[in-house]
Amino acid sequence: MIKHRFLGSPGLLILQFVLLTLISLWIVPQYQSWHGFDLQHYHRISLYLQAGQVPYRDFLLEYPPLALIPILIPQLFSPQVPLDRVDYAIGFMMENLIVTSLLGVGLALIPHPRRQQTLIGYLVLTVLLAPLLPWRYDLFPSLLTLGGLLGIIFNFPLLAGIALGLGIATKLYPVVLLPLWLLYFAASRDWGGVVKLAVGAIATTIASFAPFWYLAGDSFTSFLTYHKDRGLQIESTWAGLISLGHVLGLTEASSEMSYGAQHIISPLADPLLTLQPFLFLGLMGVIYGLGGFVFWQEFRQNHHIKPQTLVVFSLATLLGFILANKVFSPQYLIWLLPFVPLLRSPTVALVSVSFALTTTVSFITRQLRLMYPPSVVMLNLRNLILFMVLLFILLTFYKKLTSSRISKL
């Protein structure tokens, strides 16, 4: 009885928090060498803000404006005297430990026949990503994305749109979920939901952007051009394939530091950069198209769409965005946390392997930069696993669509 209670939702959430805290405290002495670049950048931004400087106009900011919220929060605990780099790093870690717990609570709120299994999966995923998890601000938009999912599940489309809009204004990537979620309401013939979701997301994004655009003028769009001008980041799917080709002697490749990350240099880089937008749009079109048809079929047969179907296609949308993008930073996997734990155990286990590989590869960046074969193989294996998860989702639902059978993934 005691064991059962401990392994219930509160016990699992407490265990997750304790394990993540212990790992984070273990990393603190090494944070400078492992995460110093990002945390120093966040720290500088927080100091600029405290000094009254205007983002985009007075200093370069490669993030959307609401990214300033998680970046500034640690400094709010010391309003009179700005935190130094070490105290800021500890404050940032504590902020993210709290956000991670809130994500777990949000997952526990979702009606699910396997809630305990969901939280166990969440615990495993966060522990595997723990060396990275508390040191990036991506947990904040992930929490907002989960808020949007909860809004849809509990039939509050306006709140879902607002949460999604806040997420877009924090990290941009949640914008790819908007078309899918609109298809969800359209397939349900809930036109009020379509309007509320769209208005909530678009109005919130515009309202978040407008003050900064007003203050910074044309400089405001610099965070968009910053990413548009980037090359193939070394951990992206495309750069991974080029690196593998180099290891196999099929092409030449090297890397260089630019835009705060390692990017691949190769005769194949420019042609792939040219093709990448078309491949990206093609893959996203397939995901949206299949998702829309599946939503429509489920509603036609059952007069409702299962939340699990929305979760699975939301995950597929994010996987498509990450895998087809020209940048795949390790922290991008944090975006998957609101969705992966809700899947069945074999899928969670497979994604967990990709999390472990991501953590490993991110700490051997130098070997990857030098095209060390084991590092290149691990990177491509990570990307292949995620691609196989995406392909499995698409093929599973395609078969269900063509056979007119709806069953659990």
Q: Is 189 left (phi over 0), alpha (psi -120 to 50) or beta?
A: left
| Cα 190 to chain centroid, rounded | 28
Lowest mean per-residue pLDDT among 149-163, 369-383, 392-406 = 392-406
If asked whether residues 85 and 26 sit together in one domain, one would say: yes
pLDDT digits (tens, 9 = 90+) for 131-161: 888 999 999 999 999 999 999 999 999 999 9
Q: Number of folded domains in the chain?
A: 3
If asked whether residues 312 and 396 sit together in one domain, one would say: yes
If asked whether residues 107 and 207 sit together in one domain, one would say: no
Q: Which two tokens stand for residue 362?
A: 């991110």
Tally of CB atoms within 10 A around 354: 23
| Cα 20 to chain centroid, rounded | 19
If asked whether residues 61 and 42 sit together in one domain, one would say: yes
Q: Which two tokens stand for residue 163?
A: 């949460």
Percentages (nearest 5) of helix, strand, coil residues in the chain: 75, 5, 20
- Of the residues 186, 212, 238, the one at which a domain ends: 212
If asked whether residues 193 and 101 sit together in one domain, one would say: no
Domain annotation covers residue 181: yes
| pTM of the full structure | 0.94
pLDDT digits (tens, 9 = 90+) for 301-339: 989 999 999 999 999 999 999 999 999 999 999 999 999
- Of the residues 137, 168, 193, the one at which a domain ends: 137
Domain annotation covers residue 70: yes
Domain annotation covers residue 317: yes
Domain annotation covers residue 342: yes
Quickly state the pLDDT bin for 368 (edges 50, 70, 90): confident
If asked whether residues 78 and 175 sit together in one domain, one would say: no
Contact call for residues 77 and 91 (beta carbons, < 8 A): yes
Contact call for residues 115 and 304 (beta carbons, < 8 A): no
H or E stretch covering 254 = strand 254-258
pLDDT digits (tens, 9 = 90+) for 175-215: 999 999 999 999 999 999 999 999 999 999 999 999 999 99
Beta strands in 119-227 (DSSP E): none
Query: Which CA distances in Å does 158 have to 150, 186, 194, 306, 402?
Result: 11, 15, 9, 20, 33
Instruction: Give the three-state DSSP class for 105.
Output: helix
Domain annotation covers residue 225: no
N-to-C CA span, the chain: 32
Domain annotation covers residue 235: no
pLDDT confidence of residue 405:
54
pLDDT digits (tens, 9 = 90+) for 4-54: 444 578 899 999 999 999 999 998 888 777 777 889 999 999 999 999 999
Domain hosting residue 150, numbered range: 140-212
Rounded CA gap, 374 and 409, in Å?
33
H or E stretch covering 263 = strand 261-265
- 318 closest CA partner among 390, 383, 261: 390
Domain annotation covers residue 308: yes
Contact call for residues 55 and 159 (beta carbons, < 8 A): no
If asked whether residues 118 and 173 sit together in one domain, one would say: no
pLDDT digits (tens, 9 = 90+) for 211-262: 999 999 989 998 888 888 889 999 999 999 999 999 999 999 988 888 777 8
